Structure 1
Amino acid sequence: MNKKRDKGQSHSTRPARAGPPRWLKLDMSPSDIELLVVELAKKGYTPSMIGIILRDQYGVPLVKQVTGKKLTQILEKYNVKLPVPEDLLFLMKKAVNL
């Protein structure tokens, strides 16, 4: 009996389907969502903050399910790139605060 394996398993998993959920009724098309992502990125929001804003204010659960592209792919398409990847940026900020 290995009891160590039983801990830490209670987390939600993302759905396996590729398309948007059936319950999702958006007033916006995927191209409108892409333009909104670009607009938020130009205001200076990071990709994770853009995802949170879309989820909380616009009701978009996952950008990839609705548009068919990842959020960073949308930013690359419209030539809106971060100078440093987001995860590396947060690691550097954490190192500076030490």
Structure 2
Amino acid sequence: MAKMHTRRKGRSRSTRPVRKTPPAWFTMSKEEVEKLVVKTYGQNATTSQVGIILRDKYGVPDITQVTGKKVTAILKENGTGPKLPEDLVNLIKKAIRLHKHLDENHKDLHNKRALQLTESKVRRLVKYYHATGVLPMDWVYSPATAEILISR
């Protein structure tokens, strides 16, 4: 599959085997895994970090296999969860870092272009999340208020 802002293809890598049920050696119950997800998220871990921590510390092969739900769905059921999607937050953080860099290095044209591409990706994601109902229609990304938005 091609990348968004380049003509190059992505790197090839191995894929996880298709499996609908957890392996036979896994003994934790669905409720235990859900409690661990909520507990781990409460310790300031992002949703992707929750999956990694549960895999490495507790031996949970795949949260979706065990519970039948994704991490964000489990968190929303328990009244927690991120206000903004994680991919959008990561792109906004990248744009903030690029803005800070360009404040000090005005003539850095390569990173000026990288900022344009990153903000384009942010706008595209916001448009998608408006259409799917994840973000309210009045939510707008602006570089001036992005740092305040992320720090909350």
TM-score, length of structure 1 as denominator length: 0.81
- Structure 1 gaps of 5+ residues are 1-6
- Structure 2 gaps of 5+ residues are 1-9, 99-152
Partner of 2:89: 89
Partner of 1:48: 48
Q: CA deviation at 1:21?
A: 2.0
Q: CA deviation at 1:25?
A: 2.6
Alignment length (residue pairs): 89
After superposition, the C-alpha distances for 1:37-86 in whole angstroms (9 at most, x for unaligned) are 01111222101111110010001111001111111111111111212110
Query: Which amino acid in structure 2 is aligned with residue 20 of structure 1?
Result: P
TM-score, length of structure 2 as denominator length: 0.54
Bigger relative contact order, structure 1 or 2 (CA pairs below 8 A, ≥6 apart): 1
Q: Which contiguous aligned blocks of 4+ residues in structure 1 show a shift greater than 4 angstroms?
A: none
Residues 87 and 59 (structure 1), Cα distance of their counterparts in 2 relative to 1, 3 Å cut:
same
C-alpha RMSD of the superposition: 1.6
Partner of 1:20: 22
Larger Rg: 2
